[in-house]
Amino acid sequence: MFYPSSEEGLRKEIERSFLHEIGPGRLPRASEKKRRPPALIAPHAGYMYSGPVAAHAYLQLEDRGVGTAIVLGPNHYGVGTPVSIYPEGEWITPLGAIEVDRDLAMELAKLSDVFSLDEMSHEREHSIEVQLPFLQYVLGEFKLVPICVLDQSLETSIRIGEALSEVLKRREDLLLVASTDMTHYEPQERAKEKDSKAIAEISSLNVDGLYRTIIENDISMCGYGPVAAIIHACRKAGASGAELLKYATSGDVTGDYSSVVGYAALKIEL
């Protein structure tokens, strides 16, 4: 539903996203430098709509050393536990299998009882799955900790962020990814106006301000909990702000600006 089912077709779609006029305009380059990865915020719609924006985020990984990617996405379907870590095994895309980092999954579960070790929450959810082929294309080998967030309350997001900040202190090869789309199905200018307010709060790593802005402006951002968890973790790890890499909407792809979905790519250097 979100990207091609063949390896060849998927690689072509990812490359099209990087080279698209809305994308960064080039493919990732191989590099021997292995700096600490940033944290990323990336969209999760079908690749034809949000892939070019997501490519701006994933281009940031071309010279980074990533051992494990912790990918947080919202639970759109209301199935499962409030905050679910997929505990062990493999996730498989047309680009191959990704091993779940069982040791890190268990470590997080021990750090906070906000987490459940649960597979059912992930069965229908796409918000994490959509990030994986981009990671595979840029990184090649890495391990994965998928975290599906149903309870996106401020309190829960802070608790998730506290646990993530603890593991960030111990490992410099961890990549945090928050999966979210921005405003849903509003006219272009209204979506851009609303999303700019949310992005301003994210850019200053202001969790309280993000929740206040979402409520006051009725912003239909679907993954605000994962974003809040990651910006809280990064602030505790010493980050000072997030950089907006790209903002666009589905209207910029389709030409229909009457009812759009907003997509943003941001990075946080640690």
The answer as to whether 2 is a domain residue is: no
In this prediction, residue 32 carries a pLDDT of 81
The answer as to whether 198 is a domain residue is: yes
**CA of residue 77 relative to chain centroid, distance:** 18
In this prediction, residue 1 carries a pLDDT of 85
Per-residue pLDDT of the chain (270 residues; tens, 9 = 90+): 899 999 999 999 999 999 999 999 999 998 887 899 999 999 999 999 999 999 999 999 999 999 999 999 999 999 999 999 999 999 999 999 999 999 999 999 999 999 999 999 999 899 999 999 999 999 999 999 999 999 999 999 999 999 999 999 999 999 999 999 999 999 999 999 999 999 999 999 999 999 999 999 999 999 999 999 999 999 999 999 999 999 999 999 999 999 999 999 999 999
What predicted TM-score, i.e. pTM, was given to this entire model? 0.97
Q: 27, 114 in Cβ contact below 8 A?
A: no
The answer as to whether 143 is a domain residue is: yes
Work out whether strand 83-85 and strand 143-149 pair parallel, antiparallel, or are unpaired: antiparallel
What's the domain range around 68? 7-22+32-268
Greatest alpha-carbon span in the chain: 48
Q: 231, 205 in Cβ contact below 8 A?
A: yes
The answer as to whether 74 is a domain residue is: yes
The answer as to whether 139 is a domain residue is: yes
The answer as to whether 1 is a domain residue is: no
The total number of structural domains that make up the chain: 1
- Which tokens belong to 114? 């906000």
**Distance in angstroms (rounded) separating the CA atoms of residues 235 and 173:** 18
**Distance in angstroms (rounded) separating the CA atoms of residues 144 and 20:** 28
The answer as to whether 80 is a domain residue is: yes
In this prediction, residue 239 carries a pLDDT of 97
In this prediction, residue 33 carries a pLDDT of 78
Residue from 172, 201, 181, 104 nearest 144 by CA: 104
Q: What is the DSSP string of the chain?
A: --S-SSHHHHHHHHHHHHHSSSS-SSPPPP-S--BPPPEEEE--S-HHHHHHHHHHHHGGGTTB--SEEEEEEE-SS--S-SEEE--SSEEEETTEEEEB-HHHHHHHHHH-TT-EE-SGGGSS--TTGGGHHHHHHHHSS-EEEEEEES---HHHHHHHHHHHHHHHHH-SSEEEEEE---SEEE-HHHHHHHHHHHHHHHHTT-HHHHHHHHHHHT---TTHHHHHHHHHHHHHTT----EEEEEEEHHHHHS--SSEEEEEEEEE--
Residue from 60, 62, 52 nearest 19 by CA: 52
Which CATH number belongs to the domain containing residue 96 in this structure? 3.40.830.10
pLDDT digit string, tens, across residues 204-220: 999 999 999 999 999 99
The answer as to whether 177 is a domain residue is: yes
Q: 192, 200 in Cβ contact below 8 A?
A: no
In this prediction, residue 30 carries a pLDDT of 83
